[in-house]
């Protein structure tokens, strides 16, 4: 399964630069694809919580379509075409990997949540929370979005395009690590912006960003491994979607039980254990 060095035909530096460029291109594409949502409801710019559910939904959907668009443009520009996309019904072995990915990602989530609670580590609030704003209806909408737009688009760009492109210069598992690092790093601006004034970021804010990025990196390693093992985009996509749905499900329960939670990756697991036991 591993790509041997004898068939690698790319420079690690150049290949990594291309991969980073693809990630940046994906982020840039989302800035264009989301414009209609902001035109639909300008409140998204200043007060996302006050925007209509329709506008918030459109923003999320168009954001993830930006990733898909970027990946599609790359495949067209390089003459790879849609035959390059590893989208097919999983075999029995593939579905076992999906199950393992779901269990593994949830276990990772629980362990990380417990560590964050035990060590009292700070984390940065996910920007998605600004658009949910404690609205349980929006949470249910987000569960649909992660299945039909979020997981498919992110896995397509970061696994089937970026990680697969890295195979030209790295072994499969090295490519998983590099792609996951890129996936985490593209979150840096958002996490730093969420800490407040970028010119006066303190040690605690930097630690919070680092903890959140480590969580993103760890989750990406799991989904990247699933793709490396199966060469089937459906496998990491299904596991990713189920994992994100699990997170939003916990958040829904947290609001239902009126738990005080700042971010679904912080203390929801611990609090719900006590509430539901």
- Kindly give the interhelix angle for 234-256 and 268-276, rounded to the nearest 10 degrees: 60
The residue among 248, 243, 255 whose CA lies nearest residue 216 is: 243
Say how far apart CA 130 and CA 263 lie, in whole Å: 10
User: What's the pLDDT at 131?
Assistant: 86
Q: Determine what percent of the chain is predicted with pLDDT higher than 70.
A: 86
User: What's the pLDDT at 246?
Assistant: 93
Judge whether 109 and 251 are in contact, CB under 8 Å.
no
Average pLDDT estimate for 95-124: 92
Residue 16: C-alpha distances to residues 69, 76, 167, 175 (Å): 21, 20, 10, 9
Average pLDDT estimate for 56-79: 96
User: What's the pLDDT at 209?
Assistant: 82
Q: 80 by DSSP, 3-state: which?
A: coil
Judge whether 234 and 88 are in contact, CB under 8 Å.
yes
Average pLDDT estimate for 98-110: 95
User: Does residue 264 have a pLDDT over 80?
Assistant: no
- Is this structure's pTM higher than 0.75? yes
Residue 66: C-alpha distances to residues 38, 61, 108, 186, 243 (Å): 15, 9, 28, 14, 22
Say how far apart CA 144 and CA 38 lie, in whole Å: 21
User: What's the pLDDT at 270?
Assistant: 38
User: Does residue 90 have a pLDDT over 90?
Assistant: yes
SS3 content of the chain, % helix, strand, coil (to 5): 75, 0, 25
Judge whether 9 and 168 are in contact, CB under 8 Å.
yes
Average pLDDT estimate for 269-274: 39
Q: What is the radius of gyration, based on Cα positions, of the chain?
A: 19
Q: What digits encode the pLDDT tens for the residues 166-181? A: 999 999 999 999 999 9
Nearest 5°: phi and psi at 126?
A: -65, 135
User: Does residue 1 have a pLDDT over 80?
Assistant: no
Q: Which residues contact 45 (CB under 8 A, 6 or more apart)?
A: 38
Say how far apart CA 140 and CA 253 lie, in whole Å: 11
User: What's the pLDDT at 186?
Assistant: 87
Average pLDDT estimate for 215-224: 95
User: What's the pLDDT at 94?
Assistant: 98
Average pLDDT estimate for 191-195: 64
Mean pLDDT estimate for the chain: 87
* Residue 272 pLDDT class (50, 70, 90 cuts): very low
* Residue 13 pLDDT class (50, 70, 90 cuts): very high
């Amino acid at each position: 399964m591993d790509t041997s060095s004898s068939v690698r035909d790319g420079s690690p530096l150049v290949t990594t630069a291309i991969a980073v460029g693809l990630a940046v291109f994906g982020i840039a594409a989302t800035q264009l694809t989301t414009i209609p949502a902001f035109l639909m409801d300008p409140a998204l710019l200043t007060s996302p919580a006050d925007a209509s559910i329709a506008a918030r939904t459109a923003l999320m959907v168009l954001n993830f379509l930006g990733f898909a668009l970027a990946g599609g443009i790359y495949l067209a520009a390089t003459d790879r075409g849609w035959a390059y996309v590893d989208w097919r019904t999983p075999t029995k072995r593939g579905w076992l990997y999906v199950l393992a990915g779901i269990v593994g990602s949830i276990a990772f989530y629980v362990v990380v949540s417990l560590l964050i609670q035990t060590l009292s580590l700070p984390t940065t609030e996910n920007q998605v929370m600004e658009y949910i704003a404690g609205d349980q209806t929006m949470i249910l909408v987000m569960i649909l979005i992660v299945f039909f737009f979020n997981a498919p688009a992110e896995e397509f760009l970061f696994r089937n395009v970026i990680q697969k492109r890295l195979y030209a210069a790295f072994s499969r598992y090295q490519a998983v690590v590099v792609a996951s690092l890129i996936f985490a790093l593209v979150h840096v601006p958002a996490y730093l912006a969420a800490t407040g004034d970028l010119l006066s970021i303190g040690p605690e804010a930097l630690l919070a960003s680092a903890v959140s990025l480590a969580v993103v990196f760890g989750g990406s390693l799991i989904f990247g491994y699933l793709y490396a093992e199966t060469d089937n985009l459906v496998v990491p996509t299904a596991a990713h979607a189920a994992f994100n749905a699990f997170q939003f499900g916990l958040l829904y329960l947290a609001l239902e039980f009126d738990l005080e939670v700042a971010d679904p990756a912080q203390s929801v697991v611990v609090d719900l254990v006590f509430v539901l036991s």
